[in-house]
Amino acid sequence: MFDIKSFFDGFLNIILNMKIFDIIDISIVAYIFYKIFMFIKDTRAEQVLKGIVFLLLATQLSSTFKLHTLYWLLVNTLQIGLLAAIIIFQPELRAGLEHIGRAQFNFFTKGNNTNEDLSKTIEEIVEALYSLSRQKIGALIIMERKTKISDIISTGTEIDGDVSRQLLINIFIPNTPLHDGAVVIRDSKVKAAACFLPLTQSKDLSKDLGTRHRAGVGVSEVSDCITLIVSEETGDVSIAKSGKLYRNISKERMTNILQNNLKGSTEEKSFLKGGIFK
């Protein structure tokens, strides 16, 4: 029978005998779990994590109450389920490892662009976007940042040309060879066009959004890129980052967002500072 007094006496004894290294150990583990939860929050992995926690609790309870058959079934389910989760959520695991790599090792990488070059690049991109918007010509532009997406670049046609509004507009003109797909920009260069992107599986996107928007969100889920999207139906300009889509962005706002995210810090707070939620 469960003795609540003995439980609290034991808990108090543990607290009183804790040393500084025990506190540090617990704090580190708590921080790791917090970061993991914040990373998977509002994703399909969150629901799986809740299911795993439920199974762990049920397994412990079945062991405590000596429900041997149920315990055996739950233990084997957990063993198989862990392997299945690794396979199913490979994209999320990859994105998580890339996130850790960007946070811890970005001092190894140095930008190749001066602020003047970047300002010119941003100006050319913004002018191209809103020229396409006025003509209701669909467009999808990927701004590569710290996470390299060479695997996506390899699916398209290599260009390696300087960014200019004329080049970008010409690429997306309907019925031209390279208009269908995404343009990837790296270090103020148009690296490739007609690139294929992974589609998001998110259920939160509006049903009226098509493949272009789903592809834009999808690539932002697996890298830290910024995706710029022009709708051919409405001419609205949208931006996607970290799996989130922000629609109907004005020209001035777009310029501010790109300047804040492509110059200097690329932390999430800079993205918000760029005016998305103003």
Which tens digits make up the pLDDT trace of 193-228?
Answer: 999 999 998 888 888 889 999 999 999 988 889 999
- Residue-level pLDDT at 105: 46
- Residue-level pLDDT at 37: 75
pLDDT level of residue 84 (50, 70, 90 thresholds): confident
In 3D space, the residue among 128, 99, 257, 238 whose CA is nearest the CA of residue 193 turns out to be: 128
Whole-number Å distance between alpha carbons of 132 and 237: 9
Q: Which of 22-26, 34-38, 115-119, 120-124 is the least confident region?
A: 34-38
pLDDT level of residue 272 (50, 70, 90 thresholds): very low
Burial class (CB in 10 A: 0-12, 13-18, 19+), 93: middle
Can you count the helices (H) and strands (E) in the chain? 11, 7
pLDDT at 41 over 60: yes
Q: Which of 96-105, 120-129, 157-166, 265-274 is the least confident region?
A: 265-274
Q: Which of 53-62, 77-86, 97-106 is the least confident region?
A: 97-106
- Residue-level pLDDT at 216: 95
